Structure 1
Amino acid sequence: MSLQIDAEGNLRHLLTLDGLPRPALEGLLSRAQAFADGADARHVLSGKAVCTLFFEPSTRTRLSFQRAAQRLGADVLGFDAATSSTTKGETARDTLKNIEAMGVHGFVIRHSEDGAVEALAGAVEAGTALVNAGDGRSAHPTQGLLDMLTLRQALGTDLSTRTFLIVGDVRHSRVARSDLHALRTLGAGEIRVCGPASLLPDAVTLDGCTVGHDFDAMLDGVDAIMMLRLQRERMAEGLVSSLDDYHRDYGLTEARVARAADGVAVMHPGPMNRGVEIDDAVADGPRSLILRQVANGVAVRMAVMEALLR
């Protein structure tokens, strides 16, 4: 029995999309689509409590989980690390265990350290479920799911004939890792990865991908462009020469969008550095699915919490 899947094959926690069976992944996407289409969810988690336990700043993910839990009828407890006992030296494990002792059995956790959420999953009682809302550079599984839901809505459920391009700071991106896991599981036709050599990860992470450094050359025939935030808070100085140079080489402009396939989907997990990774005209333009990603985040997180806590 793994921490994530129990002996009967049911989802116990959602820690990563790496190794998640395709039927489980597609089941979550189908249920999320039903919620996006307006399926009644008012009493699904009535009487249950969910705590958003965030040790890193967040806007979209934290509020999206809170909104999702509310729509499912759960009681929602917010946690602010800046005003909590963690400032006095309390560990994340002790924080979680104390909240669990109050009768809370659903936790959405964001942490700066790789593997932190998995470590916490090994410390909880049976019946308590954890969702990884982003840990270090490792994984952000619900972002990967909402990106896949957005792609399926735009391109259809069969991704095997489609070409996807992930651009930018892949080395520091947990979103990119979860998207790569999900695209492989769903049988994506071709996955291209583009960025400066200093911002690309090891070959194992990019296994099966077409890798390049010339953004313009990699755009031909692409059905979806998935831009990444330049994560300056996680990188050493000198990995990019300047923001202007980065925008020149890897910024998504209207001219670059025009090089891709007709009807190309443009995505970004946010927060966006406008004028660095993406121009205003593209972020707010007709090919942008960025706000749809945000909307789909609520539906996806409803599906995940229902699967774990119902």
Structure 2
Amino acid sequence: MTATDSSLPTLQLTREGRLKHFLTLDGLDQALLTDILDTADSFIEVGERSIKKVPLLRGRTVVNLFFESSTRTRSTFELAAKRLSADVLNLDINTSATSKGETLSDTLLNLEAMASDMFVVRHSQSGAPHFIAETVTPGVAIINAGDGRHAHPTQAMLDMLTIRQHKGQFAGLKVAIVGDILHSRVARSQIRALNTLGVEEVRVIAPATLLPKDVESLGCKVEYDMRHGLRDLDVIIMLRLQRERMEGALLPSEREFYRLYGLNEEKLALADSRCIVMHPGPINRGVEIESAVADGPQSVILNQVTNGIAVRMAVMSMAMSGQVSERVQPGEGAGQ
């Protein structure tokens, strides 16, 4: 399964340009990404209330359809749906009928028959959420929670919200993404978001074996030497080594990787003194980052987790609203 880039804007957006699925950041402009961030900002205070609920998805059913394991993403999507007052079904793929041979299409048909309104999908195959969005009944919103090496758009957007909170704006910022770029769907979405939102420079810092061949075409500058690449940075985003996706010996050893590309206090000092440190998780301490940095004053890693709820609330509410508006044809307003 692979997403067809030319079809994505039409598939994701209503005729009026509103979100109805959220599959990738490809084809989405700065205005829409900013609208997502602004909407997420408005949901931040919901998490600070004694009753953390708004009624925007009351009566709607959201199905978390995770074909890969997840902790932060699945948990924050569930919390986001519940804070929007939706009914939530978490489907455990390991014990579902798909483990007994049922096809994905049949699983979806059965879930649609239960009057589901939204599927949040994580899948090991790139393009799986796109395929589902093309095949489900119209009116069911599909949110990509990570597909293969392709995209993780909500993670990128919660990262953008975190950057905006701490830096105020994107213009003029120098941002580096460090580590396993090759296997990271997060990195691809982050690069797209950063460039769309207008940062001054995006760098990727990694050994050649952990970089896609076409990485510069994504809109970034490649640095192989971490100490050189960290200079004058405003934001550092560290990535996990994704051993489960690696084929062959791409690294000499984790110890050697940490020596060359792990972020410690000495290397962090090379960046701007106000530089923030981010990580999408899960963190491998002593492999890509030392604890003194992960837990230090420049770390905003836990802020990212908190912002994940607000961003996912924003995306889910906007997509559901777009689905509703799509059902109403021009000239079919109330009373006609």
Q: Distance in 2 between matches of 1:207 and 1:47?
A: 41
Q: If you compute each CA radius of gyration, which structure gives the higher value, 1 or 2?
A: 2
Write the distance in 1 (CA, Å) between the matches of 2:217 and 2:104: 32
Letter in 1 for 2:36: L
Question: Are the aligned partners of 2:191 and 2:219 in contact in 1 as well (CA < 8 Å)?
Answer: no
1:275 aligns with 2:283: no
Q: Give the structure 2 partner of residue 164 of structure 1.
A: 175
Matched, 1:134 2:140: no
So what's the TM-score if we normalise by structure 1?
0.97
Shift of 1:260: 0.5
Q: After TM superposition, list the pairs within 5 Å mapping 1:1-310 onto structure 2.
A: 2-38=10-46, 41-157=53-169, 159-203=170-214, 206-310=217-321
Greater CA drift, 165-174 or 83-92: 83-92
Q: CA deviation at 1:205?
A: 5.6
User: How far apart are the structure 2 equivalents of 1:246 and 1:112?
Assistant: 26
Task: Specify the SS of the correspondent of 2:175.
Answer: strand
| 1:41-76 deviation per Cα after TM superposition (whole angstroms, max 9, x unaligned) | 521111001000000000000000000000000000
Would you say how many aligned residue pairs link Structure 1 and Structure 2? 309
Runs of 4+ in structure 1 deviating by more than 6 angstroms, as ranges, are none
- CA offsets, 1:148-204, max 9 Å, x none? 0000001112x1211001101001000000000100100110111110000001225
Long gaps (5+) in structure 1: none
Q: State whether residues 236 and 278 of structure 2, in contact with CA within 8 Å, keep that contact through their aligned partners in structure 1.
A: yes
SS in 2 for 1:266: strand
Note the residue ranges of structure 2 that are not aligned, 5 or more in a row: 1-8, 322-336
Q: Tell me which moved more, 40-49 or 291-300.
A: 40-49
Deviation at 1:135, TM superposition (A): 0.2
Q: TM-score under structure 2 normalisation?
A: 0.90
Q: CA RMSD in A?
A: 1.3
> Contact conserved, 2:57 with 2:86, CA < 8 A, in 1?
yes
Amino acid at match of 1:254: E
The amino acid that maps onto 2:219 is G
Say whether the 8 Å CA contact 1:177–1:205 is kept in structure 2.
Answer: no
Q: Match of 2:34, as an amino acid?
A: E
Q: Which amino acid aligns with 2:32?
A: A
| Aligned residue type for 1:172 | H
- The Cα of 1:97 is off from its aligned counterpart by 1.9
